[in-house]
Amino acid sequence: MSAPADERASQAPGIWRDALRRLRGSRAALGAASAIAILVALAILGPHLNPNRYDAIDWSCIAMPPGLEHAHWWGTDPLGRDLFVRTLLGTRISLAVGLLATLVSLLVGIGYGAVAGYAGGGVDHLMMRVIEILSGLPLIFFVILLTVVFGRSEYLLFAAIGAIGWLTMARIVRGQTMAIREREFIEAATAAGAGPVRILVRHVVPNVIGPVIVYATLMVPQIILFESFLSFLGLGIQEPQASLGTLIASGAAEMESAPWMLLIPSAVLAILLISFHVLGDALRDALDVGDL
């Protein structure tokens, strides 16, 4: 590796240390990260803290309100199923959808965008036309079509969201790659005999990772909200499984007689979305990547 590239690489740890220091100094970022950590821990461990199963029906406790004097701490739904366990299970599923779909978007979007931005010319033109065509497909109708053809499945939901979710990521990476491909450390690596694959992996991707991390943090709540919307429409997670969207949908039907069925999952979803947005904004400021 040449001297300019070495100098560039040596600066990277300092940039991340400065970003971490700014994050530690932000009360909003620390509060959002703590809220996310608590919800993740509850989603993983919470169902094991309660003796009730998510699909067990308690005929003696139909639509029971929350209370600590009985085994159903957050109450039950119209079928007598424990709302505490189902809400935390729904949080786990919604988080899994958001994180897995974001991971797919990262892997596909980074690779696609980096290749398009570095290659330029006709290759870039062709690859961007593909993105424009896919961007013109309404995602909701795409999901409906897949559901009609293949049936309802959570794996189908992952595939449908992941098939479209990487497009914006690819555009961001392409723009960042085009901005740095003429920089001195890229030219130095090329002069040293590095091939395109090595340059992309060793030099381009590490230098675009900041905006990518910020956008990924902001993308997770978008996917969670979209999955909740699909589940609310009956196109997402199906019974007896539950996501926050399905719980909100069933709670909306009982809003007047049993408002806790709507308020509890809605509050969890709101805290989750707000926390991710606040953390994403704090990361954007800490890494100083501008508006995405």
Would you say residue 73 lies in a domain? yes
When mean pLDDT is compared across 48-52, 58-62, 78-82, 231-235, the lowest value belongs to 231-235
Integer Cα distance of 271 and 35 in angstroms: 8
The whole-angstrom distance between residue 251's C-alpha and the CA centroid of its chain comes to 24
Average pLDDT, the chain: 79
Whether the predicted pLDDT of 4 surpasses 50:
no
Q: What is the pLDDT of residue 69?
A: 64
Q: What is the pLDDT of residue 34?
A: 92
Domain that holds residue 248: 3-287
Cis before 265 (ω within 30)? no
Would you say residue 130 lies in a domain? yes
Integer Cα distance of 139 and 165 in angstroms: 9
pLDDT tens profile 120-130: 888 889 999 98
Would you say residue 79 lies in a domain? yes
Contact 77, 135 (CB under 8 A): no
Number of domains within the chain: 1
When mean pLDDT is compared across 17-21, 87-91, 181-185, the lowest value belongs to 17-21
- Give the torsion sign (CA, 140, 86, 220, 218): positive
Q: Where are the alpha helices (DSSP H) in the chain?
A: 3-24, 27-49, 83-119, 121-135, 139-150, 154-180, 184-191, 196-199, 205-232, 244-253, 260-287
Integer Cα distance of 217 and 262 in angstroms: 27
Question: Which tokens go with 218?
Answer: 């902001």
pLDDT tens profile 241-268: 788 888 888 888 888 888 888 899 899 9
Categorize the per-residue pLDDT at 166 as very low, low, confident or very high, splitting at 50, 70 and 90.
confident
59 Cβ neighbours under 8 A, 6+ residues apart: 80
- Of the candidates 40, 20, 18, 16, the residue with the CA atom closest to the CA atom of residue 29: 20
Integer Cα distance of 78 and 182 in angstroms: 62
Other beta carbons less than 10 A from residue 182's beta carbon: 8
When mean pLDDT is compared across 58-62, 93-97, 171-175, the lowest value belongs to 58-62
CATH number of 146's domain: 1.10.3720.10
Average pLDDT over residues 278-287: 81
Q: What is the pLDDT of residue 180?
A: 83
pLDDT tens profile 208-235: 887 888 888 888 888 888 877 777 777 7
Would you say residue 95 lies in a domain? yes
Would you say residue 265 lies in a domain? yes
Integer Cα distance of 181 and 200 in angstroms: 10
Question: Which tokens go with 292?
Answer: 């995405």
Would you say residue 292 lies in a domain? no
When mean pLDDT is compared across 192-201, 224-233, 282-291, the lowest value belongs to 282-291
Would you say residue 21 lies in a domain? yes
Q: pLDDT over 70 for what percent of the chain?
A: 87
**End-to-end Cα, the chain, rounded Å:** 32
Contact 248, 265 (CB under 8 A): yes
Q: What is the pLDDT of residue 85?
A: 87
Categorize the per-residue pLDDT at 198 as very low, low, confident or very high, splitting at 50, 70 and 90.
confident
- Of the candidates 281, 290, 139, the residue with the CA atom closest to the CA atom of residue 217: 281
Q: What is the pLDDT of residue 271?
A: 92
Categorize the per-residue pLDDT at 153 as very low, low, confident or very high, splitting at 50, 70 and 90.
low
Q: What is the pLDDT of residue 267?
A: 92
Phi, psi of 151 (to 5 degrees): 85, 170
- Of the candidates 165, 144, 175, 173, the residue with the CA atom closest to the CA atom of residue 221: 165
- Of the candidates 199, 17, 214, the residue with the CA atom closest to the CA atom of residue 106: 214
Q: What is the pLDDT of residue 154?
A: 67
